[in-house]
Chains A and B, each alone.
Chain A
Amino acid sequence: MIIFRHLVIVIGVFGAALSVSAGLVWLERRLLALWQDRYGPNRVGHFGLLQVVADGIKMFFKEDWIPPFADRPVFVIAPMLLLVTVLMPFAVIGFAPEIVVADLNIGLLFFLAMSALSVYGIVLGGWASNNKYALLGAVRAAAQMLSYEVFMGLSLMGVVILAGSFNLSEIVDAQKGMWNCIPQFLGLVLFTIAGFAETHRMPFDLPEAEAELVAGYHTEYSGMKFGLFFVGEYLGVTMISAMIVTLFFGGWLGPFLPPVAWFALKTFIFICGFILVRAALPRPRYDQLMGYAWKVLLPLALLNILVTGAIVLAVH
């Protein structure tokens, strides 16, 4: 019976994550259109909802071409690697009390490790493409990931200090009195910025940078392999939004509605935030991106740990 329950949770989380990220393709296009005073896809089905299905069908019937100059096995593995590493953190996120695939006591570390690994998908994809644009995108991804991963982990340490645990469920429970977004506001800002960089979303989409690098690391990808990179990006958005909600906005906590509904609602708001930022902000130059991470955000993250630790020590 417990195994059965577990299986349902695993399949449910898997299905929910994938279908949400597929739906995000539609949501993003509609919301971007709304903020640019357009309509976006509104022809296929009600409000263009079936656009996702149409795009999926199109993607499956495209020629899945591997360039002759590419490093074949790595080229094939890279998108899978990205998708798997982005999917893995969903295993430790608690959607409601008891609804979690693996209630790891080092859930937060697991999330950080997996999101750090996700850069391999991009770097290997860019390298295996044997294309200068793809390689440049991959190099950018590696450098960006390196600089943002550092303070991403550090920015979460304040949350860990407050909760006294790496377990995500316990972190959520520790927010019953007050959500972490108030005492850890700086941590929230830093983690959100790092999350944008982590998912290569608009202000930090330099690995892709279609204005300069054609399509960056996935220039040579077509068909469903490109689709995997695409879905991987939206999965990343969902994952980071879910993490923001879990760590800073009390996860499933909330009155009246069932816990899962609260979690979904909060996550949805942050996903919309991701899209809003994409609609609003231009891409910075590459040296600005790196300098910003090392000179501004890293010291701020360290300061956050210092102050939080000092206060917690003083109170106890």
Chain B
Amino acid sequence: MLSILKGIWIILLHTFRKRETIAYPEEKPYLPPRYRGRIILSRDPDGGERCVACYLCAAACPVDCIALQAAEDEHGRRYPEFFRINFSRCILCGFCEEACPTYAIQLTPDYEYAEYNRQSLVYEKEDLLISGPGKYPDYNFYKIAGMTISGKGKGEAENEDPPVDIRSLMP
């Protein structure tokens, strides 16, 4: 009996509490930088596309909303010929970001991309590509990977020694 009255009294005291509601359109909530929102494709610090069209994101995607086609340019760099994300399917799980070996595909704290037309939710590569490096400002895949591209031969990558001539007898 007493606990019932105590419960009612506690609820009455809630009259003076701060209201937790965030009045959304007028007042935006704080979202941490790692919030999983709209997906973008980032570029490396030199401005080249980070995506190497490895298909890992498309394979990891549980709802199959990512479609792409690999291609290779004259420098030997792989890139996606097209890259398409169907946001009407995307569940914002972030598996694509985790699968990506080059930090190219990233989720951003933007969530306000509602559309009246369902087809407008299919984003093409030019909609997805941003001009910056996103969450990893210094990372440049082709500078680190051992892959040869024009302007960077074998053994010239960062953290990489020049190739050893295995037929030489010199120490």
A: residues with CB less than 8 A from B are 33-39, 276-277, 279-281
Contact = CB atoms under 8 A, between A and B. Distances in A.
B12 to A, nearest CB: 6
B8 A276 contact: yes
Contacts, number: 34
B18 interface: yes
A279 B18 contact: no
A24 to B, nearest CB: 18
A174 to B, nearest CB: 29
B8 A38 contact: no
Contacts of A279: 11
A39 B8 contact: no
16 contacts: A33-B19, A34-B15, A34-B19, A35-B11, A38-B19, A38-B20, A39-B19, A39-B23, A276-B11, A279-B11, A280-B7, A280-B10, A280-B12, A281-B4, A281-B7, A281-B8
Interface residues of B, number: 14
Given A37-B21, A279-B11, 10 more contacts: A33-B19, A35-B14, A35-B15, A37-B19, A38-B20, A39-B23, A276-B8, A280-B8, A280-B12, A281-B8
Contacts of B75: none
B12 A35 contact: yes
Contacts of B23: 39
A277 B12 contact: no
Nearest to A31: B15
A257 to B, nearest CB: 24
A126 B59 CA distance: 54
B28 interface: no
Nearest to B23: A39
B17 interface: yes
